[in-house]
Amino acid sequence: MSDKILTNREPLRSGLDLEAMHRPRARNGRAPDPHVPGGWFPMREHREDEAVDFAIVGTGAGGGVLAARLAEMGFSVVAFDAGPYFRPLEDFASDETAQSQLFWTDRRVTDGENPLKLGSNNSGKAVGGSTVHYAMVALRQRPESFRSRTKQGFGADWPVDWREMWHYYAEAEEALKISGPISYPWGPSRPRYPYRQHDLNAAALTLAKGAEKLGIKWTETPLATLSAPRGKSPPCVYRGFCRVGCSTNAKQSMLVTFIPRAIKAGAEVRDLAMVGRIETDKQGLATGLHYHRDGAWRFQRARNVVVAGYAIETPRLLLNSASDRHRHGLANSSGLVGKYLMTQSNVAVWGEMDEEVRWNKGPPSLAITEHWNYDDSKDFFGGYIHMSQGPLPVEWASVHTGARGLWGKALQDEMAKYNHMVGLKMVGEMMPQERNTVTLADEEDQYGLKVARVTYSWCDNDKAMIEHSLDFMGRQLEASGARNVWRQPDDTNHLAGTARMGDNRRTSVVDTNCRSWDVPNLFVCDGSVFPTTGGVNPSLTIQALALRTADRIQALARRGEL
Amino acid sequence: MTDGLPRYPDYDVLRKRNTVSWNDPTRTAIDRRLAVDRDPHTLTEGEFATLQAICDRVVPQEQGPDLVPIAAYVDQELTLDLSLGYRYAGLPPAKEAWHRAIAALDAESVKAFDAPFVAVDAARRDTLLTRMQKGELKDPAWGDMAPDLFFKQHVLVDIVAAYYAHPTAWSRIGYGGPASPRGYVRMGFGMRDPWEAAEAHPGEEAKAARKNRNV
């Protein structure tokens, strides 16, 4: 191991003690090569007092992609991440609890009628962002989702044509070598996935069996984990620890794909660098950003700033960047920064099979149906997918305690059935509501920055969708042969909104180029620009949008409009 | 398993420690977990005893060498005062929440049974915990913290997560445990890789135990 443990005080979450958590690695002209133990890439470095073309805040699905593309276009780029720069081959334990260093566990307060759970399931703190611990589900939104207001009667339209998005989806799928079926059963035709689909585990076979009994289509889930070798990445060996980090680099996270591309193209990555404030001048233009690294606040000058911190940290940074000229926060003349926060419903049904299932083997969601994204005979707006599941023991116990309040012998008896369990879990489109918000709490984090207060309440449409999915998934699971089927009615996961894009500066925060209406050299590049969240996991849409934003920025630059 | 719960006789996930299912970071992580300091660092001796009494009811365990020292893990987590990534607005930070809850639970126990929580029997402990879960406890010592929210977010989360992070718990449920760099090969129904726990089907306990000694 190249990285020593610093202390012996954390017997559960020992990853928190890794040296990478406490000392920056990307510096002195080099950055870790995640594919080679002890290996380094040469890395170009930039002076703080000379303005770089782009300072990017966040290196996840949005910022990671954008950093690579802008650097490849010849712009000078520094990308900041509050989290560490991991070497998965050397740093990652094969353990659900030790790996919590991947999650954003800084202080955040949640409230509302349905307070959100944050951290492990939707917030990453690492170079590569939450793609380091995501479940790799790589889906396209259906065309109508980009015109929800016009075509479907709810939410807001995206200022983007679906065909343009589908072009960039294909580009993102190719860049990540998504493994998926040859022909996808729903929506307009699309090219073959670059790599062939993965084998099905018993949990996925259960989804398939139930779907066929009910007469709906299913397919192998398109996943960003390899089904064949790619360069120095091996194919997936079905460890099943995807959501606590891939220790073999089969997962095509930003850390092993776009970040190396960015560095090779001349971008600088600064790890353990928490950006606390964007500075603006008298004209209202961004001049750079204040960031905390090595125990001190520093300042990087920049000609343009891109915020890519996802739906909580992005509005938090904009709100924390208030100034005399921008009293209610940066880029907030619409008053919508931090509003229209969306999560996705993630409720589930669970049951028991007589045969051994051993659902922890393989990626968590190997089979999927998008039936209810494409069937419009529903009594609610929006849609959902549902997928097979394979939670590890700590997470599985949390389902029993969270959804059913079990403890004592009742809990242990349920846990004893672990190897026989199956489940179906949805990812569903919750409505954009102005009342669901990220605001600043009267409380500070370890950097002295105001923490985010996240307020969330479900609306009637959300509840109708949840009820529909629980009913349908329950019937499907029973049709597959599962016994004692029960519901987990409260879970949510992915985030979106809080800096929505649109055609009108009064009703949106950024324009179709993801550029702030108010501050022309400020961009947002993450899920916070979503006007609606769609009924699929958001990562591929964030990546596709980042590819598009890079092209848009290049076009603006060529026209002299940057 | 129709007649009862699955059993994995003689399965010990730690037998895999020196195989290709465990990489160095995993060995480091689990070695440290097993070597947890059993003395409290954040809670007082008295608070720690109460926490242990709560743990005994939330996850009952048989005495023996494999006993999971749950309270020690919870105490260590509190020492770092980390969050899980969020905190409900109605709850103070974890350390303060536990201090307050333990004091309140003792006050409730004295009020109901004339003895602190550690001194009442299992049935009475369960009564108090059930009332906490249902939000029926009202002693002023709770302050503005809702007992049912504390139960859901801390009693059930902190204690249960610590237990199921332990190899003893994994062995008991037949979970394969760490799997890196070797993952799995056989994924279909009823398929077991030779390095996974073997379930004892009726009349075949000895056969399963033999397999489990050779994971």
Question: Do A358 and B192 lie within an 8 Å CB cutoff?
Answer: yes
Identity of residue A519: V
A to B CB pairs, distance under 8 Å: 247
> CA separation (Å) from A333 to A55, A289, A508, A532?
23, 20, 9, 21
> Beta strands of A207-262 (E only): which ranges?
219-220
Question: What's the pLDDT score for residue B2?
Answer: 45
pLDDT at B1 over 80: no
Burial of A252 (0-12, 13-18, 19+ CB in 10 A): buried
Is the distance from CB of A210 to CB of A387 less than 8 angstroms?
Answer: no
Q: Which residues contact A307 (CB under 8 A, 6 or more apart)?
A: A57, A58, A278, A314, A317, A318, A499, A522, A523, A524, A525, A526
Is the distance from CB of A506 to CB of A421 less than 8 angstroms?
Answer: no
Identity of residue A139: L
* SS3 assignment, position B130: helix
pLDDT digit string, tens, across residues A375-392: 999 999 999 999 999 999
Question: Do A95 and B133 lie within an 8 Å CB cutoff?
Answer: no
Minimum distance, in Å, between the CA of residue A371 and any CA atom of chain B: 24
pLDDT digit string, tens, across residues A183-210: 999 999 999 999 999 999 999 999 999 9
SS (H, E, C) A300-345: EEEEEEEECCHHHHHHHHHHHCCCCCCCCCCCCCCCCCCCCCEEEE
Q: How many helices (H) and strands (E) does chain A have?
A: 11, 22
**Which residues of A fall within a CB distance of 8 Å from B186?**
361
Q: Which residues contact A69 (CB under 8 A, 6 or more apart)?
A: A546, A547, A550, A551
Question: Do A118 and B26 lie within an 8 Å CB cutoff?
Answer: no
Kindly state whether A493 is in contact with chain B, defined as any CB-CB distance less than 8 angstroms.
no
Boundaries of every domain in chain A: 14-558
Question: Do A109 and B156 lie within an 8 Å CB cutoff?
Answer: no
Is the distance from CB of A53 to CB of A303 less than 8 angstroms?
Answer: yes
Separation of alpha carbons A25 and A516, rounded Å: 32
Kindly state whether A418 is in contact with chain B, defined as any CB-CB distance less than 8 angstroms.
yes
pLDDT digit string, tens, across residues A518-551: 999 999 999 999 999 999 999 999 999 999 999 9
Kindly state whether A108 is in contact with chain B, defined as any CB-CB distance less than 8 angstroms.
yes
Indicate the angle between helix axes B45-58 and B94-113, nearest 10 degrees: 80
Is the distance from CB of A305 to CB of A110 less than 8 angstroms?
Answer: no
Question: Do B88 and A15 lie within an 8 Å CB cutoff?
Answer: no
pLDDT digit string, tens, across residues B81-90: 667 789 999 9
Tokens of A386: 């549902």
Question: What's the pLDDT score for residue A8?
Answer: 56
Minimum distance, in Å, between the CA of residue B115 and any CA atom of chain A: 23
| B181 cis-preceded (ω within 30 degrees of 0) | yes
Separation of alpha carbons B148 and B150, rounded Å: 5
CATH superfamily of A14-558: FAD/NAD(P)-binding domain (3.50.50.60)
Residue in the structure block whose two tokens are 């999971």: B68
Is the distance from CB of A524 to CB of A308 less than 8 angstroms?
Answer: yes
Indicate the angle between helix axes A162-176 and A539-558, nearest 10 degrees: 110
Q: Whole-number mean pLDDT of chain B?
A: 95
H-helix segments, A182-257: 202-214
- ipTM reported for the complex, 2 dp: 0.97
- Which residue in chain A has the smallest CA separation from B58? A408
What's the Rg (C-alpha) of chain B? 20
Q: Which of A113, A125, A407, A453 would best serve as a mutation to test chain B binding (most B beta carbons within 10 A)?
A: A407
Q: Which of B2, B22, B85 faces A354 most closely, judged by CB atoms? A: B2
The Cα angle at residue A87 between residues B80 and A130, in degrees rounded to 5: 65
**Which residues of A fall within a CB distance of 8 Å from B197?**
419
**Which residues of B fall within a CB distance of 8 Å from A402?**
152, 156
Question: What's the pLDDT score for residue A400?
Answer: 98
Question: Do B189 and A357 lie within an 8 Å CB cutoff?
Answer: yes
Residue A95: HSE in the Cβ half-sphere, 13 Å Cα cutoff: 34
* Start-to-end C-alpha separation, chain A: 45
Question: Do A105 and B160 lie within an 8 Å CB cutoff?
Answer: no
Boundaries of every domain in chain B: 1-21+176-215, 32-168
Q: Which of A1, A200, A397 faces B25 most closely, judged by CB atoms? A: A1
Separation of alpha carbons A259 and A226, rounded Å: 18
**pLDDT range class, residue B3, cuts 50, 70, 90:** low
Question: Do A408 and B59 lie within an 8 Å CB cutoff?
Answer: yes
Separation of alpha carbons A429 and A373, rounded Å: 9
pLDDT at B108 over 50: yes
The neighbouring-strand residues paired with A110 are A454, B88
Among residues 25-54 of chain B, which lie with CB inside 8 Å of chain A? 25-26, 28-30, 32-33, 35-37
Q: Please name which of A418, A429, A428 lies closest in space to residue A350, comparing C-alpha atoms.
A: A418
Among residues 97-116 of chain B, which lie with CB inside 8 Å of chain A? none
Q: Which of B86, B127, B128 would best serve as a mutation to test chain A binding (most A beta carbons within 10 A)?
A: B86
Kindly state whether A303 is in contact with chain B, defined as any CB-CB distance less than 8 angstroms.
no
Question: What's the pLDDT score for residue A2?
Answer: 40
Residues B14/B19/B23/B29 CA torsion (nearest 10 deg): 10
* SS3 assignment, position A174: helix
Among residues 113-172 of chain A, which lie with CB inside 8 Å of chain B? 115-120, 123
Among residues 246-285 of chain A, which lie with CB inside 8 Å of chain B? 247-248
Kindly state whether A555 is in contact with chain B, defined as any CB-CB distance less than 8 angstroms.
no
**Which residues of A fall within a CB distance of 8 Å from B30?**
93, 95, 98
Separation of alpha carbons A54 and A50, rounded Å: 12
Q: Which residues contact B33 (CB under 8 A, 6 or more apart)?
A: A11, A12, A14, A97, A98, B165, B166, B167
Question: Do B173 and A419 lie within an 8 Å CB cutoff?
Answer: yes
Separation of alpha carbons A99 and A260, rounded Å: 23
* Start-to-end C-alpha separation, chain B: 22
Q: Please name which of A436, A426, A456 lies closest in space to residue A500, comparing C-alpha atoms.
A: A436
Separation of alpha carbons B75 and B61, rounded Å: 19
- Weakly modelled stretches of chain A, pLDDT under 70: 1-9
More confident residue, B66 or B147: B147
Is the distance from CB of A71 to CB of A549 less than 8 angstroms?
Answer: no
- Which residue in chain A has the smallest CA separation from B54? A408
Is residue A432 within a helix (H) or strand (E), and if so which, with residue range? none
Residue in the structure block whose two tokens are 């360069």: A231
A217: left (phi over 0), alpha (psi -120 to 50) or beta: beta
Question: Do B76 and A236 lie within an 8 Å CB cutoff?
Answer: no
Question: Do B80 and A401 lie within an 8 Å CB cutoff?
Answer: no
Question: What's the pLDDT score for residue A17?
Answer: 86
What sign does the dihedral B20-B26-B31-B34 (CA atoms) show? negative
**Which residues of B fall within a CB distance of 8 Å from A10?**
32, 76, 80
> Beta strands of A47-159 (E only): which ranges?
52-57, 77-80, 109-111
Indicate the angle between helix axes B70-80 and B94-113, nearest 10 degrees: 130
Is the distance from CB of A296 to CB of A282 less than 8 angstroms?
Answer: no
Separation of alpha carbons A365 and A222, rounded Å: 9
Separation of alpha carbons B17 and A301, rounded Å: 50
The Cα angle at residue A503 between residues A497 and A508, in degrees rounded to 5: 35
